[in-house]
Amino acid sequence: MTGSDVRGVTRAPSAQIWGPLVALWLIWGSTYLGISIMGRSLPPLMGNSLRFAAAGVVMAVIIGLAKGWRSLVVTRAQLRSMAIMGVMLLAVGIGTVALAERYVPSGIVALLVAVMPLWIIVFRVRAGERPAALTLAGVALGMAGLAFMVMPGGTTPIAGSDTDVVVWSLAVLASSFCWALFSWRSSRYDLPSSPLVVTAYEMLIAGAALMLAGAAAGERLHPDLVSGQAWLACAYLALASLAGYSAYMWLLGNAPLSLTSTYAYVNPVVAVFLGWLVIGEAISRDVIVGLTVVVGGVALVVTGERRR
């Protein structure tokens, strides 16, 4: 059944939602590992700048060849809206994650990002909506799972000191609030009707913003010093940007935001597992318990939204 959520967005039939949603869970869950590997020899801000710039160019070319180059023409107001979204979601959100992963394990960063659905519920309540009881229960259970994973014994830093871990963990929490806020506001902006056009512009704008931020921060790109693994990770992240962000923008316009935001619960499961499997990040007993509880929270949120 179709309908509209509190943002006035038309919902697609539930069968159409599941493909993009599951893709989003898996693709974005794997990007934390990719960012960690890329950051070993590519400067974090400039590395992600290259990733988004490449993905944006490829997306624009695909759109131009498939639908005609005029389909890429946008108004000044639309460009301004996409600039806001590109900077606040991608440049700030992903840029902060990339900087944080110099000190904080990738799986833990994913767990910190997972508070995003809590912000969404706060925004919904402030807007006068009363979320389903199962949705609220799922959020509460998911947050309890996160507490199991992040509280015990603190986090062992990859580099630097415990203070670095605290500072960058707080920065990731702030960026997750930023991502949630501007996702929530997305329907208020004047955006092109095509999610693919929006994706192309936002990635190109984010790439330019991150390049400027990297240069201002003193980053320098030396291609001869970059490992093959880092280049492969950058290429994978560019492809993941194309697929994942396109799915995300489509879901923002066609699915309840609380259902779309469940990616923040599932991503830690994928990120923690891949971090352990590929680069040997530790998984404690409490993390396992927490992940189990988080999956239960996702099930409740999904069930609550489907019943609505």
Tell me: the pLDDT tens digits for 171-199?
888 888 888 888 787 778 888 888 889 88
Q: pTM for the complete prediction? A: 0.76
**pLDDT greater than 80 at residue 258:** no
Per-residue pLDDT at 91:
92
Banded pLDDT at 214 (limits 50, 70, 90): very high
Residue 244 forms part of a structural domain: yes
Residue among 148, 92, 119 at smallest CA distance from 296: 148
Q: Average the pLDDT over each of 25-34, 102-111, 149-158, 198-207 and give the range with the smallest value.
A: 149-158
Structural domain count of the chain: 1
Instruction: Indicate whether 197 belongs to any domain.
Output: yes
- Tell me the C-alpha distance between 244 and 90, whole Å: 12
Q: 154 pLDDT band (50/70/90 cuts)?
A: low
The angle, 0 to 180 degrees and rounded to 10, between the axes of the packed helices 263-279 and 106-113 is 180
Is 149 a domain residue?
Answer: yes
Residue pair 217/98 in contact (Cβ under 8 Å)? The answer is no
Residue 291 lies in a domain: yes
Q: What is the pLDDT of residues 37-82, one digit of tens each?
A: 998 888 999 999 999 999 999 999 999 998 999 999 999 999 999 9
Reduced 3-state DSSP string for the chain? CCCECCCCCECCCHHHHHHHHHHHHHHHHHHHHHHHHHCCCCCHHHHHHHHHHHHHHHHHHHHHHHHCHHHHCCCHHHHHHHHHHHHHHHHHHHHHHHHHCCCCCHHHHHHHHCCHHHHHHHHHHHCCCCCCHHHHHHHHHHHHHHHHHHCCCCCCCCCCCHHHHHHHHHHHHHHHHHHHHHHHCHHHCCCCCCHHHHHHHHHHHHHHHHHHHHHHCCCCCCHHHCCHHHHHHHHHHHHHHHHHHHHHHHHHHHCCHHHHCCHHHHHHHHHHHHHHHHHCCCCCHHHHHHHHHHHHHHHHHHHHHHHC
Q: What integer pLDDT is reported at residue 101 of this predicted model?
A: 86
Residue 201, pLDDT score: 93
Query: Is the predicted pLDDT of residue 285 greater than 90, yes or no?
Result: no
In a domain, 1, yes or no: no
Instruction: Tell me if 8 is assigned to some domain.
Output: no
Per-residue pLDDT band for 5 (boundaries 50, 70, 90) equals very low
Rounded CA Rg of the chain: 19
Q: Is residue 54 part of a domain?
A: yes
Mean of the pLDDT values across residues 211-231?
89
Domain that holds residue 174: 14-307
**Residue 6 domain-assigned?**
no
223: which strand partners? none
Listed ranges 12-26, 41-55, 99-113; the one with the highest mean pLDDT:
41-55
Mean pLDDT over each residue of the chain, to the nearest integer: 80
